[in-house]
Amino acid sequence: MGRVTRRAFTVAALSTVAVTPGATAAPQPPGASAGARGGRTTTEMRGMWLATVANRDWPSRTGLSVARQRGELTALLDAAVRRRLNTVVFQVRPTADALWPSPYEPWSQFLTGTQGKDPGWDPLGTAVEEAHARGLRLHAWFNPYRVALHDDPSRLAASHPARRHPGWVVAYGGALYYNPGLPEVRAFVQEAMLDAVRRYPVDGVHFDDYFYPYPVAGRTFDDGAAYARHGSGFADRAAWRRDNVDRLVRETAAGIARIRPGTQFGISPFGVWRNASADSRGSDTKAGAQSYDDLYADTRTWVRKGWIDYIVPQLYWNIGLSAADYAKLVPWWAEVARGSRTRLYLGEALYKAGDASGGKAWRDPDELSRHLTLAKKYPQVRGHVFFAAKEVAADPAGAMARVVADHYRQPARPPR
pLDDT digits (tens, 9 = 90+) for 277-325: 999 999 999 999 999 999 999 999 999 999 999 999 999 999 999 999 9
Contact 240, 231 (CB under 8 A): yes
pLDDT, position 17: 41
CA count, 13 A, side-chain hemisphere, 177: 22
Cβ neighbours of residue 21 under 8 Å, at least 6 residues apart? Answer: none
CA count, 13 A, side-chain hemisphere, 152: 2
At residue 40 the predicted structure's pLDDT band, cuts being 50, 70 and 90, is low
pLDDT, position 416: 80
pLDDT, position 49: 98
- Give 54-69 pLDDT, tens digit per residue: 999 999 999 999 999 9
Element (H, E) at 109: helix 109-112
- Give 94-127 pLDDT, tens digit per residue: 999 999 999 999 999 999 999 999 999 999 999 9
* Strands of the sheet with 175-178, listed across from one edge: 146-148, 175-178, 169-172
Backbone region of residue 54 per phi and psi (left: phi > 0; alpha: psi in -120 to 50; beta: other values): left
Tell me the three state secondary structure of residue 77.
helix
Dihedral sign of CA atoms 107, 113, 119, 124 in order: negative
Task: Report how far residue 310's alpha carbon sits from residue 306's, in angstroms, rounded to the nearest whole number.
Answer: 9
Pairing verdict, β 175-178 and 146-148: antiparallel
Cis peptide before 59 (omega within 30 of 0): yes
Entry field: residues in the chain: 416
* Res 376 pLDDT > 90: yes
Task: Report how far residue 357's alpha carbon sits from residue 125's, in angstroms, rounded to the nearest whole number.
Answer: 38
Tell me the three state secondary structure of residue 310.
strand
Over range 384-400, report the average pLDDT.
Answer: 97
